Structure 1
Amino acid sequence: MNYNLNTLFDKEKKTSNVKGLRKLFQLIPHERKNLLLALVIIIINAASKLVAPLLVGYAIDHAVVTGDYKSLLKYALYILLMYLIASATQYLQTKVMGSVGQRMLFTLRNALFNKLQELPIAFFNQNKTGDIISRVNNDTDKINQFFSQSLMQFVGNMAMMIGAAVFLLTIHPKLGMATLVPGICIFIFTMAISPWVKKRNALSLKASGNLSSEVQESLNNFKVIIAFNRRDYFRKRFAKANNENYTTSIKSGLANNLFVPVYGLGANFAQLIVLIYGISLIINGDFTVGILVSYISYSDSFYKPLQQIASLWTNFQLAMAGWDRISQILNMENDLVQESLPTTEETHEFALSFNNVYFAYPEGKEVLHNVSFHFEKGKTYALVGPTGGGKTTTASLIARLFDPTEGTIFLNGKNIKTYSSKERAEKIGFILQDPFLFSGTVKDNILYGNEAYVNYSDAQLTELLKTSGLEELLSLFNDGLHTTVSDNNSISLGQKQVIAFIRAVLRNPDILILDEATANIDTVTEQLLDKILQQLPSHTTTVIIAHRLNTIENADEIFFINNKEVEPAGSLQDAVAKLISGHKSS
Structure 2
Amino acid sequence: MNYNLSKPVQGKGLSNYAAFKSLLKLISHEKKRLALALLATIGNSGLSLLGPLLTAYAIDTYVMHKQYHGVLVYSGILLAIYLAAFGISFLQTKLMGTVGQRTLYSLRNTIFHKLQHLPVAFFNQNKAGDLISRVNNDTDKLNQFFSQSLMQFVGSIITMTGAGIFLLILNIKLGLVSLLPALIILVFTRLLSPWVKKKNAQNLKTVGGLSAEIQESLSNFKVIVAFGRRDYFMDRFNEANKKNFKTAAAVGIANNIFLPFYTLLSSIAQLMVLAYGIYLIAAGQFTIGLLVSYLAYANYFYSPLRQLAALWANFQTAMAGWERISEILDLENNMITIEDHTRQSGAPLLELKQVHFGYPEGREILHNINFSLEKGKTYALVGPTGGGKTTTASLIARLYDPVKGKVLLDGKDIRAYSPEERTRRIGFILQDPFLFTGTVRDNILYGNQEYENYSNAQLEEVIRAANLEKLLAIFEQGLETPVQSTGEGVSLGQKQLIAFMRAVLRKPDLLILDEATANIDTVTEKLLGEILEKLPVSTTRVIIAHRLNTIENADEIFFVNDGEVTNAGSFHQVVDKLLHSRH
CA distance in 1, matches of 2:564, 2:346: 24
Moved more, 523-532 or 134-143: 523-532
Aligned to 2:353: 355
| 2:543 maps to 1:535 | no
Q: Deviations over 1:430-455 (max 9, x none)?
A: 00121111111111111111122121
Tell me how many residue pairs correspond in the alignment: 582
Q: Please state how far the C-alpha of 1:480 moved relative to its aligned partner.
A: 0.6
CA distance in 1, matches of 2:20, 2:534: 59
Moved more, 37-46 or 466-475: 466-475
Moved more, 443-452 or 146-155: 443-452
Q: Is the 8 A contact 2:434 2:485 kept in 1?
A: no
Q: Please state how far the C-alpha of 1:580 moved relative to its aligned partner.
A: 2.5
1:506-521 matches, within 5 Å, as 506-521=505-520
Q: Please state how far the C-alpha of 1:150 moved relative to its aligned partner.
A: 0.8
Q: Please state how far the C-alpha of 1:459 moved relative to its aligned partner.
A: 1.6
Q: Please state how far the C-alpha of 1:379 moved relative to its aligned partner.
A: 0.7
Aligned to 2:295: 296
Aligned to 1:181: 180
CA distance in 2, matches of 1:85, 1:498: 69
Instruction: Kindly provide the amino acid, as one letter, of the partner of residue 417 in structure 1.
Output: R
Q: Deviations over 1:119-142 (max 9, x none)?
A: 001100000000000000000000
1:416-431 matches, within 5 Å, as 416-431=414-429
Aligned to 1:386: 384
Instruction: Kindly provide the amino acid, as one letter, of the partner of residue 336 in structure 1.
Output: M
| 2:13 maps to 1:14 | yes
Aligned to 1:433: 431
CA distance in 2, matches of 1:75, 1:493: 81
| 2:446 maps to 1:448 | yes
Instruction: Kindly provide the amino acid, as one letter, of the partner of residue 399 in structure 1.
Output: A
1:313-352 matches, within 5 Å, as 313-343=312-342, 345-352=343-350
Q: Is the 8 A contact 2:166 2:297 kept in 1?
A: yes
Q: Deviations over 1:456-503 (max 9, x none)?
A: 111211111111111111111111111111235021111111111011
Q: Please state how far the C-alpha of 1:342 moved relative to its aligned partner.
A: 4.9
Q: Deviations over 1:505-547 (max 9, x none)?
A: 0111011011111111111111111100001111111111111
Instruction: Kindly provide the amino acid, as one letter, of the partner of residue 307 in structure 1.
Output: R
Aligned to 2:570: 571
Q: Deviations over 1:307-349 (max 9, x none)?
A: 0100110000000000000000001111111101352x44532
Moved more, 136-145 or 345-354: 345-354
1:295 aligned counterpart, secondary structure: helix
Q: Please state how far the C-alpha of 1:573 moved relative to its aligned partner.
A: 2.0
Q: Is the 8 A contact 1:28 1:107 kept in 2?
A: no
Query: Runs of 4 or more off by more than 6 Å in structure 1?
Result: none
CA distance in 1, matches of 2:46, 2:390: 68
CA distance in 1, matches of 2:220, 2:316: 36
Distance 1:12 1:208, change over 3 A: farther
Aligned match of 1:477 in 456, 472, 475? 475
CA distance in 2, matches of 1:538, 1:23: 56
Aligned to 2:144: 145
Aligned to 1:396: 394
Q: Is the 8 A contact 2:340 2:412 kept in 1?
A: no
Consecutive unaligned residues in structure 1, runs of 5 or more: none
Aligned to 2:5: 5
Q: Is the 8 A contact 1:352 1:376 kept in 2?
A: yes
Aligned to 1:115: 114
Aligned to 2:413: 415
Instruction: Kindly provide the amino acid, as one letter, of the partner of residue 6 in structure 1.
Output: S
1:476 aligned counterpart, secondary structure: coil
Aligned to 1:279: 278
Q: Please state how far the C-alpha of 1:235 moved relative to its aligned partner.
A: 1.3
| 2:36 maps to 1:37 | yes
CA distance in 1, matches of 2:582, 2:261: 67
CA distance in 2, matches of 1:499, 1:174: 82
1:6 aligned counterpart, secondary structure: coil
CA distance in 2, matches of 1:493, 1:18: 53
Aligned to 1:26: 25
Aligned-residue Cα RMSD (Å) equals: 1.1
CA distance in 2, matches of 1:573, 1:188: 80
Aligned to 1:557: 556
Consecutive unaligned residues in structure 2, runs of 5 or more: none
Instruction: Kindly provide the amino acid, as one letter, of the partner of residue 279 in structure 2.
Output: S
CA distance in 1, matches of 2:26, 2:419: 27
CA distance in 2, matches of 1:303, 1:289: 21
Aligned to 2:84: 85
Aligned to 2:462: 464
Moved more, 364-373 or 19-28: 19-28
Aligned to 1:366: 364
CA distance in 2, matches of 1:171, 1:325: 47
Q: Is the 8 A contact 1:559 1:566 kept in 2?
A: yes
